[in-house]
Structure formats: structure tokens, C-alpha cells
Amino acid sequence: MAKTSLILGGARSGKSAIAEKITLSHSLMPIYLASAQALDEEMANRVARHQNARQGHGWTTIEEPRAVAQIISNAPADQAILFDCATLWLTNHWMDGADLAALTEALTEAITRASAPITVVSNELGQGNISVDAATRHFNDAHGVMNQALAQVCEHVAFVTAGLSMTLKGTDPLGAAS
């Protein structure tokens, strides 16, 4: 079974639900590493929906918008981490004016060295229109580079749309048909 997975897809595609199943297949003590920040009511409602869906399934939730690489590096081998989501994590750092390339490198290194199985969720932004403003184009470029770097280091990569997963790399840890 692949120890590292990257689950890509558009907004509301079903990628988190599939990533949760993969993480639970690795461990009875899963960690949900959430990078979202509830900065408005709509996002607070999204976070609450995700939290409610995990209740009763043994999840430990760590809400950390930035220091994700450190948490992944320190996770014990008998736990499994679901990092949801890399897009929001990158956004948090982008809003801070951070060096996104260096942070992406640190994240991929942490995943490569991790003892615990890791499943990463990230949005696929590269299938839309080219943005009219330079700042958004810069973010989309950095995000695409991050997704490519994550795909390089993860053993399993899947694309999710309409709740259906298509394996792009490796073998589906759940054994689902493509």
C-alpha cells in the first residue's frame, strides 16, 4: 500500500471524503491536520461541517495554518496524517508574503522523510481561466509548482471529480476501480 497520497480536485469534488478513507485505511489513530482558518461565517460553517463528519471516527484534529511541515516531520509511525488542504496552507503563507518555493520544498522534504503515512489534499486550479491580475497569476503559478512537487514525492496521486477518484500515479490504496 502506498504510504503517501496526493488527492487533487476542484472545490466540492469529494476529495476530502476520499482522503479520509485512505487515511483511515492506514491507522486507527488518524490525525486530521487542518490548515483552514475560519475568518468569516461561511468558512466557519465549512470547518464545522468537516469536523462533524469526522466525529466518532477516532480522529485527532490539529488546526495549524502554517507549521505543517514540522507536524508531519514529528508524527509517529503508528498514526496517519490527513493534511487538508495544501491550497489553504499555501494561501496562508502567500498572504504573509512568504517564500512559497522554499515552503513547498520544506513540505515535500517533510513528506519524504515522514515515518507516518501521509495523505495530502490540494485543489486543482490549473483547469480554469488565466486570471486578469498579476497577484492571482503569481499564486496560481506557485500553486501549480507545489502540486507538481507533491505529485513527484507521493507514491499515489489521484484526481477527484463528482466524488469519483481516478488514479494518476501508483496504485489506489483503497483498491477502487478507476
Q: Within a domain: residue 177?
A: no
* Residue 177 pLDDT > 60: no
Residue with cell 505543517: 68
Label residues 75-111 b or e (16+ Cβ within 10 Å = b): beeebbbbbbbbbbbbbbbbeeeeebeebbebbbebb
pLDDT level of residue 130 (50, 70, 90 thresholds) = confident
Q: Within a domain: residue 14?
A: yes
Q: Within a domain: residue 174?
A: no
Q: 156-170 pLDDT, tens per residue? A: 999 999 999 999 999
Q: Within a domain: residue 93?
A: yes
> Is 50 a catalytic site residue?
yes
Which of 26, 50, 93, 138 is catalytic? The answer is: 50
Mean pLDDT of the chain: 93
- Measured CA to CA in angstroms, residue 131 lies from 11, 74, 139, 141, 145 at distances of 17, 38, 10, 11, 17
Cell of 47: 470547518
Amino acid at site 130: I
Q: Confirm if 32 and 60 have CB atoms less than 8 A apart.
A: yes
Q: Angle at which helices 86-95 and 134-153 pack, to 10 degrees?
A: 140
**Mean pLDDT confidence for 120-127:** 92
CATH of the domain at 104: 3.40.50.300
Q: 67-87 pLDDT, tens per residue? A: 999 999 999 999 999 999 999
Whole-number pLDDT of residue 128? 75
Q: Confirm if 77 and 48 have CB atoms less than 8 A apart.
A: no
Whole-number pLDDT of residue 98? 98
**What is the number of structural domains in the chain?**
1
Domain residue limits at 54: 4-169
Report the C-alpha dihedral over residues 51, 53, 56, 62, rounded to 10 degrees. -30
Q: Confirm if 91 and 127 have CB atoms less than 8 A apart.
A: no
Whole-number pLDDT of residue 178? 45
Q: Within a domain: residue 176?
A: no
Q: Within a domain: residue 126?
A: yes
Q: How far apart are CA 101 and CA 13, in angstroms?
A: 27
